[in-house]
Structure 1
Amino acid sequence: MVFDDFRNNDGNSANNNRQNLLSSGWRPFQRDFDLAYFGQVLFHDTQELTQKTINLASYYADALGRRDYSWWANILNVASDYTRGELQKFWNFITPEPLTPDNRYKEVLSTETPIMQFVSRNSIPIDYVLNRLQEITVLRVLKILDRPDIITQYYSERDFYFPVEKFINWERIDVINTVYAYWSKYDIWLQIDPYDRGRRQYTLMARDMATLINKATYDLAVMLSGYQSRVGKVNSLFPIRTFPPDIQNFTDTVQQAILNQHQLAVVVHGEPGTGKTAWTQAVAQEILVPLGFVIFILDHDAITNFVPPTYLERICIIINEADNLAQNRAYEVAQYNNKTEHILSLLDGTLYQSVVDESGIQMKQRLVVLMTCNTTERLDPAMLRKGRVDLIYEFNQKFV
C-alpha cells in the first residue's frame, strides 16, 4: 500500500505540473510533417521505417480484430491510449524533433540566479562579486536579445511550447523542466534549468557572443576590495580638462597608446594629494568606458585572488598604492608581505593564461593596467622592466 501511495502521489504531482504549464500559457507542441525530412528517413533508414510501419499496422489489426468484442467496441479500441501512443511514437519517428542546441555552439556563458553570497574560507566576497558580474552580463544579454523565435519545454514525455507573442520576461516563464529558447537573428540558444527555492541557471550558447557581451557590459565597473566589493559604475569627480596642462598632455599620450596597443601598463607616481587616483578614475570614465573597457579596481587583498574573466574582451585594472604591493624583493620587509609575483603575473598574463578552459568563452583580450604609487624607488625592478610597464609619469603639483 505504501508503494501505491507514493506512485499515486508522483502521478498527481505530474498532473499538477502539467496543469500548471497549461494554465501559465504553455501549449502542447505538435510536430509538423516535413517532406524533406521524411525523404531522408525513407532513403537512409528504410529498414527501420518499414519495421515501424509493420508494427503500427499490427497494433491496429489487433485492435480491430478482437473476437470477444462487438465491432463498435473494436473501433473504440483504435482510439485507446495504447494504440494512440503507438501512433504518436511512429509520428515522432517520421517527423523532425523540436530544435535543440548541439555541439556546434562552443561559446558558453552561464549563471545561477539569484546569486547567493556565502562567506567562508573557500568562498570570499571577491568570488561573489565576480559571479554577480557574470549574472549581470547574462541578464543584460537576454534583455538585448528581447523576444526569442521559439520557447520549448519537454515534460512528462510531451513537448510544450510557449507562444512567443505572449512573452513578457523570463521571470514569468514557468520552468518545471529544462527550457530552450532560440534567436535566429543572432544564432544563439538559451537553456534554463530549474533549481530549488525558485533559483535557476541560465546558459547562453552561440558561435560568437562577443558583440552581445560587449554591449551588455558597457559602462560596468567592479571594485574588489575585501568585504566592500561591488559592481557599479566609475564615478570621476575631476574631469581630465581640470588637471594641469602637462598631465593633460600625458593623458593624450596614454589615450593614443590605448588605441594602438593590445596591452598597456602605466605607472603614475608622486606625493599624496597630486591627483593620481583621481586621474585614473578620470581616464577610466572618459577614455576607457567609451571604448568598451570593463573597469576593475583592485585593492591589496584582491590582487592575490583576481583572474580576469575570459568572456570579457576589454579589461582595465586599476591598482592604487602599487609601491606597497610590488615592493623590491631584495628588501627584507618585502619577503614577508608583498604581492609582487601576482602583479607581475597580471602584467605578463603568465598565470591565468597558462591553462585555458575550452568549454567557455576565450576572448582575445585587450588589457590596460593603471597603477599609482608615491615613489617608484620601492618598486621591484622587475616591475619596471621593458615590456611590462610602457609609460611612467610623475605628478608634481598638488591637486586634491
Structure 2
Amino acid sequence: MYKKQKEPNLIGAGWQPLNRDIDLNYLWETWLNNPWEVSHKAMNVVSYIADALGREHYAWWANFLNLFYETTREEIDEFWNFITPEPLTPDNRYRDSLSIETPVVKSVTRDLIPIEQVLLKLEEITIFRLLSFLGRPDLITQYSTGKYFYYPPEKFVEWNKLKSIGSIFAYWSEHEIWLRIDPLYSMDRDRRYTIMAKKLAPLVNKVTYDLAVMLSGYQSRIGQVHSQFAINSFPADVQSFTDAVQEKVFTQNQLAVLVYGNPGTGKTVWAQAVAKEILAPLGYIIFILDHAAVENFVPPSYLERVCIIINEADNLAPDRSTEIAQSNYKTERILSLLDGTLYQSVIDESGIQEQQKLVVLMTCNTTERLDPAMLRKGRIDLMCEFAHQFV
C-alpha cells in the first residue's frame, strides 16, 4: 500500500515518469552478450500478452484493458528496462567529491568547539556556493519504487524545494559535474549533498575566494577577513617587504613569512591586510588560528589555495631547550606544517600528487624565544622586523 502512495506524491510535486528510449547499439550489445536472457524475457512478455488477449470468457475490449493490468505492465516494463540503457548516473571517472549532511548546526559546550565542526560548516558553505554558481542543471532524475522520474530543468527553483523520496541526481554537462542528494531520516539532519567531478579544485577556488575562517574556541566563525588598515598606509620599508611577499606568492607553492617587533608596530594588522588585499583576491581561503587550533588543524584537501595566520608564534613554538617548552608539542606541529611533511608526504593512490598552495603568515614579538629549528633555512622564506610604532 505504501509503495502505491509514493508515485503520485512525486508526480504531484512536479516530477514526471522518465521514459527510457531505445538505443540500437545498446540493444545489439545486450543481444551479443546475453542472447538467451533476451530471448527468455521476450518470450515471457509475449506469453503475458497472449494470456491477456486470449481469455475466452471476456469481451475483446476487456481483454484489451487487461494489457494494462499491473502484473502485465510490470512484465513489459521489466523487459523494456532490460533492453534499454539506464539514465545517466555518475561513474568512477569522477574522483573528486565533496559531501555534507545538512544542516550543520554549531553546538556550544563547556569545552572548545571542535575544529571538525567548523570545517564541516565550511564544506557546507562551499557546496551551496558551488550549486549557486552552477545554476540550473541539464538533467534532474530520481529513482523511486522501481521507476525513474525526471524533473523538468526549466521548472527548477531551489534544491530544498525538490521533493525527495529516493536519491536525486543532477548533471551539468558544461562542467561535467554530478550532484547526488540522499534523504536522511534523522532528528537533526535533513539531506546529504554530494558533488562529484573529475576536478573540483578550480571551481571551488572560484566560489570561496573571499572566505575567512577563525578557529578559536567559542569564537570560531566563518566570514570574510577584516583589515583595519590598507597596505599603502604602512611605512615605506614595510611596503617594500610586502612587495617581496607578493612576488613570492606568485612564484612558490609554499611560502612561510615571519614578521617580528615590539607590540604596537602593526604586525597583526599587516598580516590581515596582506590576506585581504593580496591573497583573498587570488583565491586563498584565510584561516586565522589560535594556538589550540594549530595543534589539530590540517588544511582541507579540496581547497586549492590556503593561507594560515598565526599570531604570537614565539609562544606557540618556543625554544625546546628551555624547561617551559619541554611539555609543548606544538613546536613539532608547526615545524611539520612549515615543512609540508604533515599532509603532503603521501602520494595519491593514483600516483598523482597535486600540491596545495600554502601561505603561512606568522607574527611574534621577538625571534629570541623561537625554537632555532624554526629559523633554519628552508622553513622561513621571508622575515622582517617591524620597528615603527604603528598602532
Which amino acid in structure 2 is aligned with residue 229 of structure 1? S
1:105/1:206 contact within 8 Å kept: yes
Q: CA deviation at 1:247?
A: 0.6
Q: Give the corresponding residue for 1:292.
A: 283
Taking the aligned partners of 2:301 and 2:40, their CA distance within structure 1 comes to 51
**Aligned match of 1:185:** 174
- Secondary structure at the counterpart of residue 281 of structure 2: coil
* Structure 2 partner of 1:115: 104
CA positional deviation for 1:122:
10
Does residue 259 (structure 1) correspond to residue 250 (structure 2)? The answer is yes
Q: 1:123: how far off? A: 8.6
| Deviation readout 1:26-83 (Å, 9 max, x if unpaired) | 1111112222322322333322212211221122223334455565544443332111
**1:355 to partner: Cα distance:** 5.1
Q: Please tell me whether the aligned partners of residues 227 and 276 of structure 2 are also in contact (alpha carbons under 8 angstroms).
A: yes
User: 3-state DSSP class of the match of 2:366?
Assistant: coil
Equivalent position of 1:321 in the other structure: 312
* Rounded Cα–Cα distance in structure 1 between residues aligned with 2:43 and 2:105: 56
The reply to whether residue 231 of structure 1 matches residue 222 of structure 2 is yes
- Give, in whole Å, the separation in 1 of the partners of 2:79 and 2:5: 28
SS in 2 for 1:388: coil
Contact 1:111 1:134 in 2 (8 A): yes
User: Does residue 345 in structure 1 map to residue 336 in structure 2?
Assistant: yes
What residue in structure 2 maps to residue 6 of structure 1? none
Please name the residue that 1:3 is paired with: none
Matching residue of 1:209: 200
1:351-383 per-position Cα deviation (integer Å, ceiling 9, x unaligned): 223457769x97520111010000000000111
Give the equivalent residue in structure 1 for 2:157: 168
Q: Give the corresponding residue for 1:60.
A: 49
Q: Deviations over 1:275-313 (max 9, x none)?
A: 000100111111111111111111011011101100011
Range moving further from structure 2, 38-47 or 136-145 = 38-47
CA distance in 1, matches of 2:61, 2:312: 91
1:4: which partner in 2?
none
Counterpart in the other structure of 1:150 = 139
**Partners of 1:310 and 1:362 within 8 A in 2:** no
For the residues of structure 2 that align with 1:356 and 1:17, how far apart are their CA atoms? 47
Greater Cα shift, 128-137 or 14-23: 14-23
Aligned partner of 1:281 among 249, 267, 272: 272
Contact (CA 8 Å) 1:312, 1:363: kept in 2 or not? no
- Distance in 2, Cα, partners of 1:57 & 1:376: 87
- SS of aligned partner of 1:254: helix
**What's the secondary structure of 1:273's corresponding residue?**
coil
Aligned to 1:134: 123
Q: Which residue is equivalent to 1:385?
A: 376
Q: Return the alpha-carbon distance in structure 1 between the equivalents of residues 87 and 135 of structure 2.
A: 21
SS of alignment partner, residue 318 of structure 1? strand
1:296/1:317 contact within 8 Å kept: yes
Aligned counterparts of 1:223 and 1:369: Cα–Cα separation in 2: 15
**How far apart, in 2, do the equivalents of 1:159 and 1:362 lie?**
39
Q: Partner of 1:23 in structure 2?
A: 12
Which consecutive unaligned segments of at least 5 residues does structure 2 have? none
Q: Is the 8 A contact 2:253 2:355 kept in 1?
A: no
Q: Whole-Å Cα distance in 2 between the matches of residues 338 and 79 of structure 1?
A: 73
Q: Does the residue aligned with 1:289 lie in a helix, a strand or coil? A: helix
- Residue 274 of structure 1 contacts residue 398 of structure 1 at CA under 8 Å; is this kept in 2? yes
Question: What one-letter code is carried by the residue in structure 1 that aligns with 2:35?
Answer: T
Alignment partner for residue 148 of structure 2, among 155, 159, 169? 159
Q: Which residue of 2 aligns with 1:84?
A: 73
Q: Distance in 2 between matches of 1:118 and 1:355?
A: 34
List per-residue Cα deviations over 1:118-172 (Å, max 9, x = no partner): 4569993322111111111111010111000111111111111111100011111
Secondary structure class of the residue paired with 1:222: strand
Q: What's the CA shift string for 1:210-254, capped at 9, x where partnerless?
A: 221111111111111111111111111111111010111111111
Structure 2 residue corresponding to 1:269, chosen from 242, 260, 264: 260
Q: Per-residue CA shift, 1:293-337, capped at 9, x if unaligned?
A: 111111011011101100011111100000001000000011134
TM-score (norm 1): 0.92
Change (3 A) 1:123 1:76: farther
How far the C-alpha of 1:338 sits from its partner, in A, is 5.2
TM-score, normalised relative to structure 2: 0.94
Is the contact between residue 325 and residue 338 of structure 1 (CA under 8 Å) also seen in structure 2?
no
* From 34, 43, 58, the counterpart of 1:45: 34
Amino acid at match of 1:189: W
Give the Å deviation of 1:20. Answer: 2.4
